Structure formats: structure tokens, C-alpha cells
Homo-oligomer: A and B are copies of this chain.
Amino acid sequence: MCRWLAYSGAPILLSEALYAPAHSLIDQSLHSRLGAETTNGDGFGVGWYGEPDTPGVFHSTAPAWNDENLHELADHVSSGHFFAHIRAAIGSAVQQTNCHPFRYGRWLWMHNGAIRDFAEVKRDLVLAVDPALYASIEGSTDSEVFFHLALSFGLEDHPPQAVARAVGLIEDVGGRNGVDHPIQMTVATTDGARVWAFRYSSERQSRSLFYSTDIPTLRALHPEVEILNEVSSDSKLIVSEPLRDLPGAWNEVPEASYGVLHGDDQALRPFRPQAPARRTSVSAAV
């Protein structure tokens, strides 16, 4: 399992979100409180948007807590929109191509959780990926296949629907292979402007997910916390677990729901997987 963080707001040094908070993501790499694993030391990644069209990604197989290059990057790169992820591998190799966030064009994707019994269902799932996208799968994780399923189902046009179809397929294939609870997930994806975040699991006991209270409200609650005066009013964070113990600052995303960060739209909506109408033709042909 893993931990992740998504930031959107005025540009800040990455280190403000990754290192500065008391229970920062870097701290969570050693001492996660709410994760399935307390240690998330099997690599990490960040993806950030700047002037170029596509986001930059930095992936490393070292534990986040001891990676000097991550520290340097975080201290010298600013962005108004970035993802960060720390990994606890569960089966697949510790290598850069297995580090989140994954990128496709302008899109980033990161995942905490698992497609269960992935070795058994991987072939069927990969067959359902659009053949034109197949060659862009570079690693061996369930999460990257999940991303490519979502892309195959139209992520770039209708993210919630594409994720619903991908999850529906994973549950369908899992079910046909006798897998209990085929998927466990919190997922974040972005096109560089909006962030979609999903919390769901087949057993309805999903990994933790929180979003930050809006800054003006927090400032009124905690006038003594200086950092709140420094960040922009529209700054938002979505995190696997709270970065600070600040009362009123964090709100749990409800079970089986999703939200989008975009302007003032912060509504949370129910997330329902969308099962395939029938067995996919490719699978049927096997």
C-alpha cells in the first residue's frame, strides 16, 4: 500500500507540502499512522506542472526519507499543481517504472491500494487496454494497468465515468476469477488544471482519504497559525492522511465517493463502478 498527496493552489516550493508539516509525507514514509503499512519505503515519485506542456515527473527507488535529490528538487522547484506518492510495494518490483505518479500526455495518475490477485487477472485486464495504448505501459504494477484501463475508457474526456468503467471491469474480471473484493483504492488523477480524487473498495472499507478545509475558514479558526496567512486562499490539499494535527483542518472523503478540485466546485459525489455490458470481446476470444 502507499500514501499520497495532491496540491492545487498558488505556486509553492514542493518542500512546503512534502517536508515542512509535522506529519509530512516524508515523515509518513517512515511512520504512517493510517496506512496498511507503517513503512512506505519502496520508492516514491512526484509530478509537477510548470511552464512546459507536460508535467515533469521524478521517480526514485530509494526511500523518500533518505533521498537527497528529492530534497533538492523540493527545495528548488515551485509549482501550483503537483502530486506526490510514497510506495509500499506489494509484489511488484521496486523500480522507477513502478513508481507513481504515472504520466500520459498531460495527465498524471496515482493510486493507493491494490487490484487483488493481480497475477491471476493481469492478462485479462491488459487485453482490455486499447492496443494503441498498450506499448505505453512501462512497468509491472496493477496501478499502471488501472490507469491505462481508465485511459482506454475515456479518462481524458469523462474522468469519473472512465474510472467507473475501469473499476467495473476490474470487479467483473476479478469476480469471474473468484477473487474476493477485487479492488481497493484511493486514486487521484489530474490534467494539470483539475484534480479528481476517488475513494472506493469492493468491500466498502477503503483506505483513508482527506481533503483540506478551505483556507479562509481555517484562518478564522486558527488565527495564530502563521502558515495559513502565507498560503493562497484557494490552496487545497487531498491526502491519504492528515499532515498536521490541526482541529477542523481535515475532512474525510466518505466511503465510495469522489470529488473534483476545480474553482469553487468541491462537491463530493457517490462513486459507483460501472460493470461492462457484457464480457469484453477480447476476453471472450481467449
Contacts and interface: CB of A to CB of B under 8 A. Distances in A.
Interface of A: 13, 30, 38-39, 41-42, 48, 50-52, 55-63, 65-66, 68-69, 72-73, 75-78, 89, 93-97, 119-120, 122-123, 126-127, 131, 134-135, 138-140, 282, 285-286
- Total copies of this chain within the assembly: 4
Nearest to A285: B285
13 contacts: A13-B52, A30-B39, A38-B38, A41-B63, A41-B65, A51-B78, A58-B73, A59-B69, A60-B69, A63-B63, A93-B96, A122-B135, A123-B131
Interface of A is mostly: mixed
Contacts of A77: 56, 76-77
Contacts of A59: 68-69
A75 B65 CA distance: 25
Nearest to A51: B78
Shortest 9 CB-CB distances between A and B: which pairs? A56-B76, A285-B285, A95-B95, A119-B135, A123-B134, A66-B94, A41-B41, A56-B72, A93-B97
